[in-house]
Amino acid sequence: MMNLDSIVRIGGVTASVGTFVRLGKLRLNADGVYLTVGSNPHPPYLLPPSPPYVASLPAPNSLEDLQQRGFRVMRGKTPECDRVEIGGAYFRISAAIANGLI
């Protein structure tokens, strides 16, 4: 059963039923069913609810993590050769961690 908060698609546009009712694109008929307005009224396409968003955090001290923290990084040929800029010089990430620089 659709309500005003249900998300539907009409003509390539996705919005809530309430939005389409306010825009005059949907109407509620006597049976309690929302129908499109026009020469061929039909129920709108009901979209399934989206799965909950789960943010995936990058691995600690990875290139992505260091970039998010504001460091400039340089990708190496292998992950062991990846470098991070600290004080104008590039250090291997493993050496920067070992020496307490990051």
Instruction: Show me where the domains of the chain are located.
Output: 7-46, 63-98
pLDDT of res. 15: 94
Q: Count other C-beta atoms under 10 Å from residue 90's C-beta.
A: 15
Global pTM reads 0.50
Q: What is the pLDDT of residues 19-67, one digit of tens each?
A: 999 999 999 999 999 999 989 999 999 998 877 777 778 889 999 999 9
pLDDT of res. 52: 76
Mean pLDDT of 80-90: 93
pLDDT of res. 24: 94
State the Cα–Cα distance between residues 83 and 95, nearest whole angstrom.
9
